[in-house]
Amino acid sequence: MTITAVPDAGGTVAHMVATYTDLSEQKRAQREIQRLAFHDVLTGLANRALLHERLCEAGREVAKSGEYGALLLLDWDNFRSLNDAMGHPQGDALLRLVGERISACAGKGATVARPGGDEFAIVLHGICKSREHAAAQAESVGTRILQTLAAPCRIAGTDYQGSASMGVVLFADQTLDADALLKQAELAMYQAKRTSHGSLHFFDTQLEQAVSERMRVERELRAGIAAGELRLHYQPQVALREGRLAVVGAEALVRWQHPGRGLLAPGLFITLAEETGLIAPLGRWVLRAACEQLAAWQNQPRFAALVLAVNVSAVQFLDPGFTQDVLDLLEATGASPAHLKLELTESLLVRDADAVIATMAALQARGIHFSLDDFGTGYSSLAYLKRLPLQQLKIDQGFVRDLETDANDAAIARSVAALAHGLGLAVIAEGVETAAQRDLLVAMGCTTFQGYYYSRPLALADFEAWCRQALSA
């Protein structure tokens, strides 16, 4: 609205004139110009200019978050000959269909662009902080896209079957140049075309090998869990009581009896299981095996008092069905909840603390105990600690290892023991390998131990034999 004063002959303003202008059309035109400048007219996707801008943005985001992002570049195989053969209007229709299929596959958070011709680009913004996991995610999105594109495209009544080849490059903090990234993705894409149409290649071939290795292990682990290849080993937990050694229980540690690679330690597969969701069936197997063992011991006077500690991953613990799963298992196996101790790690606490406390309280009400594993290595807030229904802190082996030589480690171990006493909690030290470490721990007020000094983790029969011998000593 414009208002103009209209003075009379004497110069006094007696009235004003207001003029209204409708700007809708102008605004619409501005938006349209903006859209045309940054979007591809044919598919409505981001064009090269906007892709460039989004890549720069994504670069700034990952620099802040410490996560990895990915650029996926795909090119329709033999588009030119197709375009010539079926006519340009049909070629256009194909490109539109391809754009729609990619957008549907790529998910909400991704940027989908058509930088030109028969090329399409997908930007996956911060995926996660692990490079291999991010690569595996990018690979899975890329493979999904290639699979949907391999389905026949119906254009003007004819089914047309084609394929696309894809190049993938990861970016993090240090790789910010959008042009260089596009170039790398393009190189990988040409490599894919040379290898076989419809395939996916990483710019970094080492990463590519790591990803395919990882996918192989994931496949094998999935099959291995189903085929009964998991085993439980038991590491004794002992206490010094009035100078006498008592076996109070054991920690159940999972192993994977791999058909080709032998007995594998959890360090080789737990993280992968957590990242791929396999921790759910794995964790359930461990809990069931532990409960069955407890139930079997209940009828043997020698073992009836043992408490079995079971490691529970954060992902597993935060599953809404966890409490019920555990209660069902106890019910089904007849194991006594008072002999089951769940080991949680501090990483759990940085998640939803209220949910964690609620789950712990529900299980504790049934008699299950909790121990905080690897204590001191995470970011526990002491304020949380006092709210947690815990029975035990576990001094991490990282502080025990150099107890005799490193004054800082000794100070931390001593503080953890004092903290436990102050909060009315029990304390156990793990990774005890020498009598000197044990003596220092005793002097700090920690009298329960686990470590190679007493025994390595053992298969069931060996563990039971070890207990018999320790009890008769």
Name which of 311, 296, 374, 300 is nearest 341 in CA terms. 311
- The answer to whether 311 contacts Mg ion (rule: CB under 5 A) is yes
The secondary structure of 260-273 as a DSSP string is TTEEEPGGGTHHHH
Nearer to ligand C2E, 83 or 450 (CB): 450
Q: How far apart are CA 206 and CA 22, in angstroms?
A: 60
Nearer to ligand C2E, 103 or 313 (CB): 313
The window from 111-119, 255-263, 372-380, 445-453 that contacts Mg ion (CB under 5 A) reads 372-380
Smallest gap from Cβ 98 to ligand C2E, in A, equals 42
Q: How far apart are CA 413 and CA 336, in angstroms?
A: 32
Smallest gap from Cβ 454 to ligand C2E, in A, equals 8
Amino acid identity of residue 35, one-letter, is R
**In this structure, what are the phi and psi dihedrals at residue 197, rounded to the nearest 5 degrees?**
-60, 140
Q: How far apart are CA 27 and CA 12, in angstroms?
A: 37
Other Cβ atoms within 10 Å of 346 Cβ, number? 20
Nearer to ligand C2E, 224 or 451 (CB): 451
Task: Give the total residue count for the chain.
Answer: 473
- The answer to whether 374 contacts Mg ion (rule: CB under 5 A) is yes
Report the partner that residue 452 touches, choosing among Mg ion, ligand C2E, none (CB closer than 5 to 8 A by kind): ligand C2E
Q: How far apart are CA 42 and CA 442, in angstroms?
A: 75
Give the footprint of ligand C2E on residues 230-249 (CB under 6 A): 235
How far is the first Cα of the chain from the last one, in angstroms, to the nearest whole number?
Answer: 99
Nearer to ligand C2E, 137 or 450 (CB): 450
Q: Contact with Mg ion (CB under 5 A): which of 119, 208, 343, 346?
A: 343
The window from 116-124, 204-212, 262-270, 421-429 that contacts ligand C2E (CB under 6 A) reads 262-270
β-pairing, 164-171 vs 68-76, is: antiparallel
Smallest gap from Cβ 350 to ligand C2E, in A, equals 16
Contacts of 147 (CB under 8 A, 6+ apart): none
Nearer to ligand C2E, 111 or 450 (CB): 450
Smallest gap from Cβ 256 to ligand C2E, in A, equals 10
Torsional sign, CA 89, 95, 96, 97: positive
Q: Contact with ligand C2E (CB under 6 A): which of 43, 199, 313, 333?
A: 313
- The answer to whether 346 contacts Mg ion (rule: CB under 5 A) is no
Q: Contact with ligand C2E (CB under 6 A): which of 219, 351, 452, 468?
A: 452
Smallest gap from Cβ 212 to ligand C2E, in A, equals 25
Q: Contact with ligand C2E (CB under 6 A): which of 44, 198, 266, 378?
A: 266
Report the partner that residue 457 touches, choosing among ligand C2E, Mg ion, none (CB closer than 5 to 8 A by kind): ligand C2E
CA 456 vs CA 58, 262, 268, 468, 469: distances in Å: 48, 18, 18, 16, 15
Report the partner that residue 11 touches, choosing among Mg ion, ligand C2E, none (CB closer than 5 to 8 A by kind): none
Amino acid identity of residue 59, one-letter, is G
Place of tokens 């969701």: 277
Report the partner that residue 325 touches, choosing among Mg ion, ligand C2E, none (CB closer than 5 to 8 A by kind): none
- The answer to whether 59 contacts ligand C2E (rule: CB under 6 A) is no
Q: How far apart are CA 314 and CA 162, in angstroms?
A: 44
Smallest gap from Cβ 352 to Mg ion, in A, equals 22
At CA 410, angle to CA 432 and CA 265, rounded to 5? 35
Q: Contact with ligand C2E (CB under 6 A): which of 157, 267, 320, 424?
A: 267
Report the partner that residue 10 touches, choosing among ligand C2E, Mg ion, none (CB closer than 5 to 8 A by kind): none
Instruction: Check if the beta carbon of residue 94 is closer than 8 Å to that of residue 155.
Output: yes
- The answer to whether 275 contacts ligand C2E (rule: CB under 6 A) is no
Helix (H, G, I), strand (E, B) or coil at 275: helix
State the residues that interact with ligand C2E by CB under 6 A: 235, 253-254, 265-267, 270, 283, 286, 311-313, 343, 373-374, 397, 430-433, 450-452, 457
State the residues that interact with Mg ion by CB under 5 A: 311, 343, 373-374
